[in-house]
Amino acid sequence: MKQNSTGLLNDCMSEFASNTGLAPESSHLTRYLWTDAFAVCNFLELYNRTNDKIYLNLALTLIYQVHHILGKYSHGNKKGVWISGLNMDDGENHPTQGGLRIGKEMNERGPNEPFNESLEWDRDGQYYHYLTKWMHALNNTSTITGDKKYIKWAMELAKTAHKKFTYMPNHGIKKRMYWKMSIDLNRPLVPSMGQHDPIDGYVTYCEIQNEMDNLDLRENVEKSLVYEKEDMKKICHGISMVTDDPLGLGGLLSDATWIIQLINNGYNLFELLETILDSTIIGIRSYISNNPMELSADYRLAFRELGLSIGIKGLGIIRDLIHNNSKFSRKSLESRLNELDKYATLGETIEKFWLDDKNRKTRNWLEHRDINTVMLATSLAPDGFLKI
């Protein structure tokens, strides 16, 4: 089965590399931060499975392209200038210090342009939850290569994102977060808060700190995320995580998978893990009650469903850690996992549907071909994304 999934993973990632100008390298590169973060993890997984350095080189080349395209302006007289404002040499050394663009083709809304909700989806800017996915990809690259620069870049991105996306409301007593910021991170484009942005941030900060500790990089306070972790923990407190959106559910299960690994490394996150699993159980029941698998491909978004499939694959990692470590002998965890196991076959159902060629010829698939292809690849071979 693993050999078969390796072949399918290679096929998907070869298609992605060709379509987006990664390999063979093209003068017209299509870089999109969310998709590219998953793609880096997929190439690292292929490298882990085959020991073929061509896949490692693809991951590193993709990181270079992302930083040199999405770390710079794409329009106007600032085109090609680092978002951070750093000069050419300093920007090379700190490519994430100004954040990274989403990668939308349409430029961001200008300061004096009226807000248009439907148009905003097509405009560039920065999303916090895309930045956390890139931090995760850099973290995993650091783990695989042993090169400390990648985790340092993840840490610098975390500090910048936290500083710019969090704020104290007028007359407020608790910080909140902006959902979407301008490319230069100086103004909010969508002021509402993403439901899972705080939890994504908190778990990712813990993940980065864990890798920094492993590489003995905590030389001083400036090179740690102690403040950011505590700040985000406070923002998370009391927030409802329940959702019936498949991509959101998959994100919660991915967070749970990373949390169990962090607990295994000494982090005290049991209460958070149980809250996430409880929220997922409620949400997935609601999702299934609408019979989403009965819809045709024309009315389904593959990447959102595949996000759920990826998260469900994490249940196996959670199970393995619980069974192999006495510190996880909690009946409360077992009962929650037993409930979630009822939906374990849902991931396979989603995969089978989107592996069917006819379902990958619909308008919905083709309009989101790159993200769909990469997310399908991650679902087929999720360890590169889910293991830290």
In which element (H, E) is residue 166 found?
strand 166-167
Q: How far is CA 300 from CA 98, 251, 324, 351, in A?
A: 35, 18, 38, 13
- Which region, left, alpha or beta, applies to residue 301 given φ > 0 means left and ψ of -120 to 50 means alpha? beta
- The answer to whether residue 220 scores a pLDDT higher than 70 is no
How do 166-167 and 126-127 pair as beta strands?
unpaired
Please give the Cα distance from 318 to 253 (Å, whole number).
10
- Residues 37-44 have a mean pLDDT of 98
In which element (H, E) is residue 240 found?
none
Q: Please give the pLDDT value at position 222.
A: 53
User: How does DSSP classify residue 171?
Assistant: T
Chain centroid to CA 325 = 27
- The answer to whether residue 217 scores a pLDDT higher than 70 is no
Which of 152, 179, 150 lies closest to 164, judged by CA? 179
- Residues 211-218 have a mean pLDDT of 76
Which of 211, 296, 194 lies closest to 245, judged by CA? 194
Q: Are 209 and 266 in contact (CB under 8 A)?
A: no
Quick one: 7 exposed, middle or buried, by C-beta within 10 A (0-12, 13-18, 19+)? exposed
Q: What is the pLDDT of residues 79-95, one digit of tens each?
A: 999 999 999 999 999 99
Q: Please give the pLDDT value at position 75.
A: 85
Average pLDDT, the chain: 93
Rg of the chain, C-alpha, whole Å: 20
Residue 172's pLDDT band, with cuts at 50, 70 and 90, is confident
- Residues 211-229 have a mean pLDDT of 74
- Which region, left, alpha or beta, applies to residue 363 given φ > 0 means left and ψ of -120 to 50 means alpha? alpha
Q: Please give the pLDDT value at position 221.
A: 42
CA atoms 153, 257, 319, 274: torsion sign:
positive
Hey, which residues does 82 pair with through a beta bridge? 72
Q: What is the pLDDT of residues 65-82, one digit of tens each?
A: 999 999 999 988 899 999
Q: What is the pLDDT of residues 123-171, one digit of tens each?
A: 999 999 999 999 999 999 999 999 999 999 999 999 999 999 999 998 8
Give percent of the chain with pLDDT exceeding 70: 96
Q: Please give the pLDDT value at position 323.
A: 80
Residue 187's pLDDT band, with cuts at 50, 70 and 90, is very high
- The answer to whether residue 218 scores a pLDDT higher than 70 is no
- Residues 265-278 have a mean pLDDT of 93
Cα angle vertex 309, ends 303, 313, to 5°?
140
Please give the Cα distance from 352 to 306 (Å, whole number).
11
- Residues 96-122 have a mean pLDDT of 94
Quick one: 338 exposed, middle or buried, by C-beta within 10 A (0-12, 13-18, 19+)? exposed
Which of 311, 324, 323, 258 lies closest to 283, judged by CA? 311
Q: Please give the pLDDT value at position 195.
A: 94
Hey, which residues does 177 pair with through a beta bridge? 166
Q: What is the pLDDT of residues 321-366, one digit of tens each?
A: 888 776 666 677 888 999 999 999 999 999 999 999 999 999 999 9
- Residues 198-214 have a mean pLDDT of 93
